[in-house]
Chains A and B, each alone.
Chain A
Amino acid sequence: MSKEILMPALSPTMTEGNLTKWLVKKGQKVKAGDVIAEIETDKATMEVEAVDEGYVSELLFKEGDINIPVSKPIAIISQNIEKNQIKDKGKSINKKNTTSNFDENSQNKDLSHKKENLEDKDNPITASSNTITMRQAIRDTIAEEMRKNKDIFIMGEEVAEYQGAYKVTQGLLEEFGHKRVIDTPISEQGFTGLAIGSAFKGLRPIVEFMTFNFSMQAIDQIINSAAKTLYMSGGQINCPIVFRGPNGAASQVAAQHSQDFSSWYSHCPGLKVLAPSTPYNAKGLLRSAIKDNNPVIFLENEILYGLKGQLSKDNDFLIPIGTANIEKEGKDTTIVTYSIMLQKSLEAVKILEREFDLNVEVIDLQSLRPIDQGTIIESIKKTNRMVIVEESWPFASIGSEIVNIIQKEAFDYMDSPIIKVNSADVPMPYSSSLEKLYLPQVDDIVKAVKAVNYIT
């Protein structure tokens, strides 16, 4: 009788882990509750405990092994040390295969596939040194700008000692100290208002919301104080501040922790709103945001934190706020998208090309306010058809505004009605099956592009 210890899922978005340390040796006796290993997740280093009593008959990975998929066996515990380990291992793997589809319906599935693809391409061992994750890109940019300007500080829940709830601020405390890397109580309205006051008085805060869901506690300060004071003071008092953190759905964290704020904040004059989709544009956009003298909302995405990508050789580059990126040129249809939906759109584009011979142009907005009207209009003048893909709810979304721009500026160029692909117009459900239905999927994008091309 033996049992395998699987790589556990230790956070909602964890798809793989790194084995940092074994705390047991082969042959050692363990009882339930004993810590057997340390695993580094996408968020933290966690301890793994044995669930049953027995002997460690096999350690299937060695210390330092990385990117071990969730649910893969990492060790085998036997009741009896003398048992045939190979036989046990074979048995248990077969058993595992019958239960390994727990993730089948998760909205992460498409993306984790995508992530794997990307990671294959950018294999950490073979890729050049400027291949980094989105998380690192954001972290590095904050650190680089903090080195240049002593008036920049970062504040938020768990940004300092904990090293960031999503490890984005890892190492910043060590480099910049408690004066500039500041842990706050769970007190969004208080510390947001405080940071805004400090910006009025000349500092340049970066406020991390653990997730943007919690920014609703502080939305009065963001809009009524940060966004409006320049105007209300007749131009005297500006507010150079960045509000950043993960936005949108993560994975099965349900209605209160999964929503997209792009349209909420983009509605408000006085704010600038950015939504990066790759490590490259995260870096260029965040640098622009930190240098900007206005309040900037920087909407990251938790699922994208592990996404790897190439940076340009010039590490100090800027992506100007208000510029979209033509991610892929095409002539048959334009997809306008932003943030995580860029990845899903690119997957759909491959299918559309392969199966329907459609050459689709993909515009990644990057900046939601101000929005790059010129790039969008020029594109539809070329393709005459448009699909807008976004994670937000459909009503009064960024896409709704784009439809308005198109009907006003390019009415005569449209060959078919624009289709918006959005999340369902309901609060986010918990169940993985419903969550998948709620979120836009690759298939939905494929169908929409076919529809604007009248392909049945």
Chain B
Amino acid sequence: MLKIRRFEERAAQLYGMGHIGGFCHLYIGQEAVVVGVLMTIKKNDSVVTTYRDHGHMIARGLDPKRIMAELTGRENGYSSGKGGSMHMFSKENNFYGGHGIVGAQVPIGTGIAFTHKYKRDNNICRTYIGDGAMNNGQVFESFNLASLWKLPVLYIIENNKYGMGTSVDRAAAGTDLYKRGEAFGIKGDKIDGMNVFSVIKAADKAGKYVRSGKGPYILEVQTYRYRGHSMSDPAQYRTKKELELYKNQDPIEIAKNQMLKNNLFSEKELDNLNKKIIEEIKVAAEFALESNYPKNEELYTNVYV
């Protein structure tokens, strides 16, 4: 979580300096969701997510150096500088993006789960959905197909309260988003996404359900993004008071306090960990900025196999 936080802060800094271009969606505030869910993942399980994907890649164990190199459009990036912030992939780590179109990753994740079932490999696909996508038609088409064919897909709704600048209650008729699977016979649950331990517990239960062959499951995780929708969003659609409310239940602080309380780490060890991470991210940023831009001839590669 700390690594994601420090990475995103550095990404914001590099964006401000003009080293990162285009759209850049930060994950700050939501760290406990992906960390909690991916604590329960098995090596050959698949993941597919939205464009708010930097944290997802870090949590999947991918190299921050190469993620930052992608954000800065360099040849060492995970997509060789051709994908950028929103479109990053790592096939060897079963990470299938990083998708820029709201909702489009949902049928794709369902299809990856279809392959797991077709090949009977006992793996599952974790498919993340933003609250904004929960009003998009293809999501319901996917729910229908996944339930109809009992596909091993765990849908995780990251409900950060706003689809861009529109709050969930202004966009969704019925704000218990996980209940939208009920019509398709899909079980679901809503959990607190600011506490990583409760996320781990719920994700473990949901993952086991899906892996047992019972079909899909929907986990709605309540979370909050501290920053705007993207770098260019001043987030004036919400109050400072609301933001402070969530910052007071910061997922990193909650995890830290709980670990201290249970004597898992000492304060000093956590300080040292933070310093180590700051250094790692600094090195990642340097690596990215020292990396070359893609060669001109790369413009025409990877259009066809």
Point out the residues of chain B lying under 8 angstroms from A272, CB to CB: 304
Q: Is there contact, CB below 8 Å, between A201 and B46?
A: yes
Given A203-B115, A237-B89, decide whether A232 and B82 contact each other with a Cβ distance below 8 A: yes
How many whole Å from B67's CB to the nearest CB in chain A? 13
Q: Which residue of A lies closest to B123 (CB)?
A: A201
Point out the residues of chain A lying under 8 angstroms from B305, CB to CB: 230, 238, 293-294
Select the stretch in B13-21, B93-101, B206-214, B249-257 that faces chain A: B93-101
**Can you name 7 A-B pairs with beta carbons within 8 Å?**
A153-B118, A194-B111, A195-B111, A200-B111, A201-B115, A201-B116, A230-B305
Identify A234's interface contact among B46, B79, B96, B113, CB under 8 A. B79
**A-B interface, 10 closest residue pairs, ranked by CB to CB distance from nearest:** A197-B111, A193-B107, A190-B141, A234-B80, A197-B108, A201-B115, A233-B89, A194-B111, A232-B87, A235-B302
A229 to B89, CA, bound (A): 9
Given A192-B107, A234-B79, decide whether A179 and B145 contact each other with a Cβ distance below 8 A: no
Interface: A236 (CB within 8 A): yes
How many whole Å from B95's CB to the nearest CB in chain A? 10
Q: Is there contact, CB below 8 Å, between B144 and A234?
A: no
Q: Is there contact, CB below 8 Å, between A201 and B96?
A: yes
Interface: A198 (CB within 8 A): yes
- Please encode chain A, from 191 to 210, with 1 for each CB lying within 8 Å of some chain B CB and 0 for all others: 11111111111110000000
- Please encode chain A, from 220 to 237, with 1 for each CB lying within 8 Å of some chain B CB and 0 for all others: 110011000111111111
Output the residue of B108, B119, B140, B148 with the most chain A CB within 10 A.
Answer: B108
Contact residues, B14-47 vs A (CB, 8 A)? 46
A190 to B304, CA, bound (A): 24
Contact residues, B253-305 vs A (CB, 8 A)? 301-305
Q: Apart from A196-B111, A234-B302, A235-B301, what 9 extra A-B contacts exist at CB < 8 Å? A: A190-B140, A197-B114, A198-B112, A198-B118, A221-B108, A233-B79, A234-B83, A272-B304, A294-B305
Given A224-B104, A225-B104, A231-B82, decide whether A179 and B118 contact each other with a Cβ distance below 8 A: yes
Q: Is there contact, CB below 8 Å, between B145 and A194?
A: yes
Select the stretch in A43-51, A181-189, A338-346 that faces chain B: A181-189
Output the residue of A189, A224, A230, A236 with the most chain B CB within 10 A.
Answer: A236
How many whole Å from A315's CB to the nearest CB in chain B? 26
Output the residue of B81, B90, B303 with the most chain A CB within 10 A.
Answer: B303
Point out the residues of chain B lying under 8 angstroms from A427, CB to CB: none
Interface: B130 (CB within 8 A): no
Interface: A270 (CB within 8 A): yes
Q: Is there contact, CB below 8 Å, between B83 and A189?
A: no
Q: Is there contact, CB below 8 Å, between A234 and B78?
A: yes
Q: Is there contact, CB below 8 Å, between A232 and B144?
A: no
Output the residue of A187, A192, A193 with the most chain B CB within 10 A.
Answer: A193
How many whole Å from B110's CB to the nearest CB in chain A? 5
A220 to B140, CA, bound (A): 16
Interface: A269 (CB within 8 A): yes
Point out the residues of chain A lying under 8 angstroms from B90, CB to CB: 236
Output the residue of B88, B99, B107 with the most chain A CB within 10 A.
Answer: B107
Chain A residues in the interface with B (C-beta under 8 A): 153, 179, 184-185, 187, 189-203, 220-221, 224-225, 229-238, 269-270, 272, 293-294
Interface: B138 (CB within 8 A): yes
Q: Which residue of B lies closest to A193 (CB)?
A: B107
Q: Which residue of A lies closest to B80 (CB)?
A: A234
Given A197-B96, A200-B96, A220-B104, decide whether A232 and B141 contact each other with a Cβ distance below 8 A: no
Q: Is there contact, CB below 8 Å, between B303 and A187?
A: no
Output the residue of A199, A200, A237 with the most chain B CB within 10 A.
Answer: A200
Q: Is there contact, CB below 8 Å, between B77 and A234?
A: yes
Identify A190's interface contact among B48, B101, B138, CB under 8 A. B138
A192 to B138, CA, bound (A): 10
Interface: B167 (CB within 8 A): no
How many whole Å from A182's CB to the nearest CB in chain B? 8
Point out the residues of chain B lying under 8 angstroms from A231, CB to CB: 82, 302-303
Q: Which residue of B lies closest to A239 (CB)?
A: B305
A268 to B145, CA, bound (A): 28
Q: Is there contact, CB below 8 Å, between B104 and A221?
A: yes
Q: Is there contact, CB below 8 Å, between A221 and B107?
A: yes
Point out the residues of chain B lying under 8 angstroms from A234, CB to CB: 77-83, 89, 302
A229 to B293, CA, bound (A): 20
Q: Is there contact, CB below 8 Å, between A203 and B304?
A: no
Point out the residues of chain A lying under 8 angstroms from B82, CB to CB: 231-234
Q: Is there contact, CB below 8 Å, between A185 and B144?
A: yes
Interface: B106 (CB within 8 A): yes
Interface: B193 (CB within 8 A): no
How many whole Å from A220's CB to the nearest CB in chain B? 6
A141 to B115, CA, bound (A): 23
A230 to B109, CA, bound (A): 17
How many whole Å from A192's CB to the nearest CB in chain B? 7
Point out the residues of chain B lying under 8 angstroms from A200, CB to CB: 96, 108, 111-112
A405 to B123, CA, bound (A): 50
Q: Is there contact, CB below 8 Å, between A230 and B99?
A: no
Q: Is there contact, CB below 8 Å, between B108 and A190?
A: no
Q: Is there contact, CB below 8 Å, between A187 and B141?
A: yes
Q: Is there contact, CB below 8 Å, between B107 and A196?
A: yes
Interface: B142 (CB within 8 A): yes
Q: Which residue of B lies closest to A234 (CB)?
A: B80
Q: Is there contact, CB below 8 Å, between B304 and A193?
A: no
A193 to B46, CA, bound (A): 16
Identify B83's interface contact among A224, A232, A293, CB under 8 A. A232
Output the residue of A191, A192, A238, A269 with the most chain B CB within 10 A.
Answer: A191
Interface: B91 (CB within 8 A): yes
Given A193-B110, A197-B107, A234-B80, decide whether A269 and B303 contact each other with a Cβ distance below 8 A: yes
Point out the residues of chain B lying under 8 angstroms from A196, CB to CB: 107-108, 111
Interface: B61 (CB within 8 A): no
A324 to B304, CA, bound (A): 20
Given A189-B141, A225-B104, decide whether A294 and B304 contact each other with a Cβ distance below 8 A: yes
Point out the residues of chain B lying under 8 angstroms from A184, CB to CB: 145
Q: Is there contact, CB below 8 Å, between B111 and A187?
A: no
Q: Which residue of A lies closest to B91 (CB)?
A: A236
Q: Is there contact, CB below 8 Å, between B302 and A230?
A: yes
A201 to B87, CA, bound (A): 17
Contact residues, B196-219 vs A (CB, 8 A)? none
Q: Is there contact, CB below 8 Å, between B144 and A198?
A: no
